[in-house]
Structure formats: C-alpha cells, structure tokens
Amino acid sequence: MRAILPILLLLALLAAAVLLDRPRQPADLTFINRGEVHTLDPQRMSWLQDFRIADSIYEGLVRWDNDTFEILPGVAESWDISADGLTYTFHLRGNARWSNGDPVTAHDFVYAWRRALFPDTAAGYADLFYRLRGGQEFFNWRRGQLATFVEEARGLSEVRRRQLAQQRLDEARRRFDETVGLAAQDDRTLIVTLEVPTPYMLDLLAFGPFMPVHPPTVEAHVSLDPATGSLRQRHGWTKPPHLIGNGPYVLSVWRYKRDLRLERNDRYWNAGSVGSDSVLCVYVEDANTAVLAYKTGSIDWLSDVSVDYRADMMAQKQRYMVRNAARSDELEAEGLGYNEIMAVLARESPPLPGERNDIHAFAAYGTYFFNFNCQPTLNSGAFNPFKDARVRRAFSRSVDKHAIVDRVTRMGQPVAHTLIPPGSIAGFSGAEGLQYDPAMARRELAEAGWSDRNGDGLVEDESGSPFPTVEILFPSSTEHKAISQAIANMWERELGVRTRLREEETKVAGTHLVEHNFMVARGNWFGDYGDPTTFLDIHRTGNSNNDRNYSNPVFDDLMARSDAELDPEKRMRLLEEAEAMIENDAAPLLPLFHQVTLYMYDPARLRNISTHPRLTQFLHELEVVR
C-alpha cells in the first residue's frame, strides 16, 4: 500500500495539471505577435508587440484612424487648442469607464503622466513628456533629489529613512503640481500646457505611453525603498486578474512565453465597434514553427514572417499576382483597396501549385541604413576619414541599392535615398537624397584628398598613406552579414579601399553603436509618430539616438526654428530644408532600403488589416470570417 501511495499522488498531480491546462474555448481571432510581450504598463513600454496589446486594453485621450492616421476622439470627446498652440483643454466623455466600472477621470491621466516623468518608473519614452511645460526640468530635479538621498539618509534608522523618503516624495509631488504643465481642472477637464508649440501633439497623445492607468490598482503595488528613496514598483498589477483597463478588451489570461487572451470589455464606451469577442495571442519563438502553425490552421494571422525562405514565398505570391494581373487592375480601377482586391481574387481564382496568395508585403514606417561615425577621431584615437562629408557622400554614391534588394535580400524592398519613407507624412515633400553614381563618388573622394597615386588600385592621401581599412560593424545575422559583405565589395571595387567585417552578438553590437565605438555600423529606425521630427531628431547634437555623433549648428538651428514655428506650412518647409541638408550634403548615414513587413493571412477570411506604412493594427477592428 505504501508503494502505491506515491504513484497515486503523482497521478493526482498530473490530473490536476491537465485540468488546470485544459484547452479553453477557441478565440474568435488567434494570431502570433511579433515577439513576447515585455510589459503591459503603458508608461514603461517600448516594443511594438507591447503597444499592440496596449491599444486593446487601454485608450488614451485620442485614437488614430489606422488607415489614414486622422486623429479621432478617444476618452476625450472634444478638445480646444489655444491660439499660441501651447495649451490644450480636453473634455472627457462622461461614459468612459474602467473595466471595473470606475469612471475614467482627468486625474487618472495626471497620475499616469506623472509616473512617466518620475525617473523612478524608468519610462522608456520619458523624453516625449518633456514637451509638457517644465517636464524635463522636473525629471532632472527628481533625479537629482534621488541622487542626494543616500548621503542625506546615511546613519539614519530604517524608520527615519522611510520617513525621509516619504517627505521627499511628498515634496516631489508638490513640485510636479506647481511646475509641470498638467492639471485636472475637474473630473472631466484636463489642461495640458506645452513647453513649445508641438503640431504633432495629438498624434503623440494616441501613442501608448500617454494612456492612463487605474491609480488605486497601481498604488497597491507601489512602495518606497528606504535604501534609495525611490518608488519601488512591483508589476503584479499588469497581470490578470488584477489589471484594470479602459480599452476595448480586458486581459483574461497571460502565460509568459505561452499565450495571452483578451475578452470583450462590455464597459468600454464604444463596445459596439469591437469586431471579435475574444482574441488569443500565441507566443512562438521559432520562425519556422510560426509558419507551420499558420499552415495547419491554428492561427489566423502571423504578424511577422521572418523565415529564411521568405523570398521564395514572395516569388510564389508574385506568380499568383502575375497570373491575375488583368483582374487585379480591373478591381483597382473600380476603387477597391489591396485587401478587397485580394479577397475577390481568393474567391474567384484560388492559387495553383507553385503559387500562394496568403503572404503579404507592406511598406513599413522605417528604414534600414548604415551609420558613418562623424567624430573627428575614432574612439581609439585613430584618424577618422568619415569626419569629412565628401568622404561620406562618396561612400553613399558608390552603393548599388537595387542590387542589394534584388540579389541579396531578394525581398524587393523600396530602395531608400532618405531616412524618411517618401509619402509617409502628409504635407511633407522629401529630399531627393544621394543617387547611385560611382563616377561622382570617385570624384568626391578625390576632392577629399584620396586617389590612387601609385597605380596599385588603392587610394592614398597626398603623403601616400592608404585609406584606413573600413571596418563595418553589424549584429550577428545571416542577412546583416550578406548585406555588409555586398556593400564592402562595392566599396572595394568602386572606391579602391580595403574593408573588414566586424560581426558581434546583437547586444554587444548595440553597445558599441551607442558608445560610437565603430567606423561604419548597421542601423535601423522606425518612426514613433507622424511627423518628420521622429526621424530628423536623431541627427540633433546630443540626441540620445544620435549614434553617428553628427553635429551641425546650422541643422540644429533649423530644427529649433521649426519647433517655434506656428504656421504648419512654414514649419514643414523648414523641416524639408533640414532633411535636404542631411540627405543631400551631410550624409551622416547611408539609407539602403525602407523596411517591409511580411504578414501571413487568408485574404478571404481576415478583414480590416491596415496597409498604412505605420502598420498599427487594432485587434478590436479585425474580424475573421468563419
């Protein structure tokens, strides 16, 4: 009997585990997100997959129309903007509710935005809140307050340290209320005052970090650290059943690196706009397994196709589109959009062997490029030839970008001559950028003092010293390596220089990039909001994302003038001038191609996928036809 008991106990435990992990009711929409969700705290988010869920469980003052990116009312049903563009008064709707039934108030927004401006929170986008009057000054003040706490509290008992930490926190909250341009006039009126006019402010306010949180829920997980004086924030409130949101869905399940389930929020003020009662987000790390999951019918939408054979899949799609070109043109002439055309073709003309219609390439709001280090000398103290804009232009003009997207990536990405994707920002006419012109490249390099003086095929300076070996830094990846090798070959062939590839693990490469410890390095940038500054700001002197360490007072002045310009058209002209300076003359980076995102879905079944370059997909708008 004693021998049987352990076996019975084990069987009971196994049975309990099976019961606890029983399959749930199938969701109306099942998809694989771009990666595992890191956090559901909107003030601490910085990843696309996090923001995708945030748009489902929270709602800000305003929302985007994700097809046009027109600003739509969210929690705020209306707003007023002062003539000088500095003060926004938001009028909150009376029927906005948290998922527990509490009203959403202006005080909730003050609480959430204050969290973002407290260094204690470690908000990834704290700098966006610097647009608030006094925002950056307060952030720096609180950081200084925390820096001096340890010395102030030295030798005190733990009780006294806690008291001192509370005193400093109370002081910080008072200072915030007195100095930062944010105030709840009453429960339904929020007044926002800016440091400088920000024409894209409403666009920013639709972005995840500006969404509210439920104060009582968050505060239940906050304590003061007597060792540092800072707020210690536990994140259990972001897990079910604790998380309380105000968006279209509520979070019912979140199993890390397994799945996340959303259910319709019946208390959402616009619940009638929610297309699916439930959404299941599945985590699949391996790219091949993700494609297999789609093929078996387990999921409705794969939001990022990254398998090595994706170019072959796109070739199958191309064959399908060529066969149906005439019909596609007819439907386009009738005014149908991409998804409508694909749905009609799916019904009328199923794919033949060797074809497919379920992979879709959409232009994204981002650009793949290579940075040139613009410092006078490299970190090692060695001479840096790329400090000269003529050298940078020469290296840019000598790269055949069409060859890269046609023969290396084989994805047909739009070739890039500028960092900002053309046509992605309304009212902004982009610069031409530097075109492929090897002859001009060699002339510019010669003007910079580099030419083949001894006929050995390599360029030298006037003293006969060869051009320094060009080291190309890139994160470990088959694609990054192939692209870097192709560029290296072009530079050697067209310019007569030696090159060396420097492949590093992703995190190490990222550290070298931030520390400007490179000569040439692979880079990537996606815009966060619909204004040229989301791309141009990374060239400002001292900007935290200025990996190139580029600095030009004329450019900085243009950007500062655009910040202060109230006339929208004049402001855009200033920004166009700033972009032209960067792309046509300074060339601190080499744009290669604008990013393309690959989705997999059946166009006859999944409706309402947005094709806008910003590729913001609102899960509550997606519907699956069964």
Please state, in angstroms and rounded to a whole number, the distance separating the CA atoms of residues 118 and 128.
Answer: 13
Beta strand 520-526 with 359-372 is: antiparallel
Please check whether residue 282 is in contact with residue 293, taking contact to mean a CB–CB distance below 8 angstroms: yes
Extract the tokens encoding 53: 């869920």
Does 528 map to a domain? yes
Percent of the chain scored above 70 by pLDDT? 96
pLDDT at position 426 is 85
Does 267 map to a domain? no
Residue 309: how many other CB atoms lie within 10 Å: 12
Domain span including residue 74: 58-233
Does 338 map to a domain? no
Extract the tokens encoding 423: 């046509």
pLDDT at position 4 is 41
- CATH classification of the domain holding 160: 3.90.76.10
Please check whether residue 370 is in contact with residue 590, taking contact to mean a CB–CB distance below 8 angstroms: yes
- As a whole number, mean pLDDT of residues 332-340 equals 96
The structural domain count of the chain equals 2
Please state, in angstroms and rounded to a whole number, the distance separating the CA atoms of residues 72 and 64.
Answer: 6
Does 315 map to a domain? no
Does 74 map to a domain? yes
**pLDDT tens sequence across 73-119:** 999 999 999 999 999 999 999 999 999 999 999 999 999 999 999 99
Both 423 and 567 in one domain: the answer is yes
- As a whole number, mean pLDDT of residues 361-377 equals 95
Average pLDDT, the chain: 93
Please state, in angstroms and rounded to a whole number, the distance separating the CA atoms of residues 465 and 59.
Answer: 61
The three-state DSSP-derived secondary structure of 275-329 is CCCEEEEECCCCHHHHHHHHHCCCCCEECCCCCCCHHHHHHHHHHHHHHCHHHHH
Rg of the chain over all Cα atoms, to the nearest angstrom: 27
**pLDDT tens sequence across 239-289:** 999 999 999 999 999 998 899 999 999 999 999 999 999 999 999 989 999
Boundary (domain end) residue, out of 181, 200, 233: 233
Extract the tokens encoding 158: 């733990």
Contacts of 189 (CB under 8 A, 6+ apart): 89, 90, 91, 92, 106
pLDDT at position 34 is 80
pLDDT at position 471 is 98
- The phi, psi pair for 566, rounded to 5°, reads -85, -25
- As a whole number, mean pLDDT of residues 292-299 equals 95
Angle at 310 between CA 309 and CA 314, to 5 degrees: 125
pLDDT at position 507 is 85
Residue 308: band (very low, low, confident or very high) from pLDDT cuts 50, 70, 90: confident
From 280, 123, 269, select the one nearest 210 (Cα to Cα).
123
Query: Per 3-state DSSP, what percentage of the chain is helix, strand, and coil (rounded to 5)?
Result: 40, 20, 40
**pLDDT tens sequence across 552-584:** 999 999 999 998 888 889 999 999 999 999 999
pLDDT of 8 over the 70 cut: no
DSSP letter, residue 469: P
Does 624 map to a domain? no
Boundary (domain end) residue, out of 167, 202, 233: 233
Please check whether residue 338 is in contact with residue 357, taking contact to mean a CB–CB distance below 8 angstroms: no
**pLDDT tens sequence across 31-76:** 999 888 989 999 999 888 899 999 999 999 999 999 989 999 999 9
Residue 12: band (very low, low, confident or very high) from pLDDT cuts 50, 70, 90: very low
Does 27 map to a domain? no
pLDDT of 21 over the 50 cut: no
Higher pLDDT pick, 544 / 529: 529
Boundary (domain end) residue, out of 233, 259, 274: 233
**pLDDT tens sequence across 142-169:** 999 999 998 999 989 999 999 999 999 9
pLDDT at position 17 is 36
Residue 24: band (very low, low, confident or very high) from pLDDT cuts 50, 70, 90: low
Helices (H), 237-306: 287-295
**pLDDT tens sequence across 162-191:** 999 999 999 999 999 999 999 999 999 999
Residue 23: band (very low, low, confident or very high) from pLDDT cuts 50, 70, 90: very low
Does 19 map to a domain? no
Amino acid found at 492: E
Please report how many Cα atoms fall inside a 13 Å half-sphere around the Cα of residue 81, on the Cβ side: 11
pTM metric for this prediction: 0.83
* Element containing residue 256 per DSSP (H, E): none
Q: How many residues does the chain have?
A: 626
- CATH classification of the domain holding 404: 3.10.105.10
